[in-house]
Structure 1
Amino acid sequence: MPERSALRADCSSCFGLCCAALPFSASADFPVDKAAGRACSNLGADYGCTIHARLRDEGYRGCTVFDCFGAGQQVSRVTFEGRSWRDDPGIARSVFDAFGVMRQLHELLWYLDEARSLPTSEPLGAELRALQKEAARLTRADAAQLREADPAALRERARPLLRRASELARARETRRGRDMSGADLVGADLRKADLRGTGLRGALLIAADLRGADLRRTDLIGADLRDARLGGADLTGALFLTQPQANAARGDARTRLPEALERPDHW
C-alpha cells in the first residue's frame, strides 16, 4: 500500500494530465477559460509548464494551489503503461476519466495513511487497514475497472473512521478545543488563538487571520483555507491537513507545518 510519501505529485513522470483533463474559468485563479479535455496553451511539448516560474504573475494562481496526490504519474505510468494521450488521441478520454477517479482514491489513501499513523488509532487499525487495502487495489486497476469504481462510496465508508481517529487523537490534548465543524469563520480575527484540539472539519476559514495561532492537533479535514493568514502559526501535528490546503493559504518562514507537507514556494 502506498504511504503518504508516495502520494505526492511527480510532474516529471506525468503526461501533464492536470493541464489537459481539468477545466478552469476566468477568475481570480485563472486569466482565461479552458474546457475539460483541452490542453492548456502553456503546456509544453515535454508536458512541462512553460510558465511554471511565473504562474502567479501570469494569473494562474489556481495551478499553484492544485495537487493531484500523485494520481498523474500513477495513471500515466501504471494504468496506461506510459502511453500518452497526446501520442494516442484515441485513449485521451479514458486517460482523463481515470485521472479524475485516481485523484479521489489517492486523496483518500492520504487520509487513511495519516489516520493509521496516529498512535491513538490502534483500536481502528484493522478497519482502516482493510479500507486502505481496498482503495490501493483500485489504484492498480485497469482503465475499464476504474471507470466502474465508486470512490465516493469509499469516502462515505471512511468518513466515520476518520472522524473517530480525529476524536481519539484530540482527546489526548490537555486543552481540547470545542467542535467548530462547518463554522463560518470567513475573515475571522483569530490571531494568536489557542485552537489546540479544536474540530474545524469543513470550516470556512477564507481570509481568516490565524497569524501566531496554535493549531496543533486541530482537525482541518475539508477546511477552506484560501488566503488564510498563517504567518507564525503552529500547525505541527494538525490533523488531515493536505498540501492543497497549505498551498491555498498565506504562510511565511515562521509557519510550522506537519512533517508530511512541503512549504509552498510562494510563501
Structure 2
Amino acid sequence: MRYDCAGAGQRTLSLFDNRSWQDHPPLLRPQMDTFRHLRTIHDLLGLLATAQELALPARVEARRQELVTALCPENMTPARAKRLATGSLPEDVRDFLKSLARHAGRARA
C-alpha cells in the first residue's frame, strides 16, 4: 500500500520557501501542523472534485464552486490553512456533500 498526501506535502514545502524540517529541525512542528491542515483541505477538495461528476442543478454546482474557492485562497499561508481546516468550512463542505445524496446516480452526460 502507498500513501498519497494528495499534494499537501508539496504545498506545505512551498509555504516554507521549499525548506524542509529535515534540513532545518526547528521547522518540524510548524511544517507538520501545516501539513495536517493542508491534508484536510486537499481531502475536501478531492471530494468536491468528485462531486463535479454529478449532474448537479446550477445552484448546487455554484455552491460546490464557492466551497472550492473558499478552500483555495490566493495567498495561502500556514495560519490561513489552520483557520480553514479548523474553522467551520470543513463541516460546511461535509454538510454539502451529504446533501448530494439525492443527486447520486445522475452523472454528467
C-alpha displacement of 1:150: 3.5
Query: Identity, % of aligned pairs?
Result: 29
Report how far residue 74 of structure 1 moved. 0.9
Structure 2 unaligned runs (5+)?
none
| Alpha-carbon distance in structure 1 between the residues aligned to 2:88 and 2:3 | 23
| Partners of 1:121 and 1:168 within 8 A in 2 | no
Task: Give the number of aligned pairs.
Answer: 107
Q: Which residue of structure 1 lines up, in the alignment, with residue 37 of structure 2?
A: 101
What residue number does 1:161 align with?
Answer: 96
Q: Distance in 2 between matches of 1:157 and 1:147?
A: 16
Q: In structure 2, what is the equivalent of residue 69 of structure 1?
A: 6
Q: Is the 8 A contact 1:116 1:122 kept in 2?
A: no
**Normalised TM-score (structure 2):** 0.81
Distance (Å, rounded) in 1 between the aligned partners of 2:104 and 2:58: 11
Q: Which digits, 9 at most, give the CA deviation of each residue in 1:34-81, with x for residues without a partner?
A: xxxxxxxxxxxxxxxxxxxxxxxxxxxxxx2532111111111x2112
What amino acid sits opposite 1:158 in the alignment? V
Task: Specify the code of the residue in structure 1 equivalent to 2:49.
Answer: D
Give the secondary structure class of the aligned counterpart of 1:120. Answer: coil
* 1:90 aligned partner: 26
* Structural RMSD (CA): 2.3
Q: In structure 1, the residue corresponding to 2:18 is in which secondary structure?
A: coil
- How much does 1:94 deviate? 0.5
Letter in 2 for 1:110: G
Q: Does 1:137 align with 2:102?
A: no
Structure 1 stretches of 5 or more lacking a match? 1-63, 173-216, 218-267
Checking the alignment, whether the CA contact within 8 Å between 1:101 and 1:146 is kept in structure 2 is: yes
Aligned 1:80-229 pairs, distance under 5 A: 80-137=16-73, 140-151=75-86, 153-170=88-105, 172=106
Which gives a bigger RCO, structure 1 or 2 (Cα 8 Å, sep 6+)?
2
Which protein has the larger Cα radius of gyration, Structure 1 or Structure 2? 1
Supply the distance in 2 between the matched residues of 1:158 and 1:67 (Cα, whole angstroms). Answer: 21
2:101 and 2:87 mapped to 1: Cα distance?
Answer: 20
Q: Which runs of 4+ in 1 moved over 6 A?
A: none
Which structure dedicates a bigger proportion of its chain to helix? Answer: 2
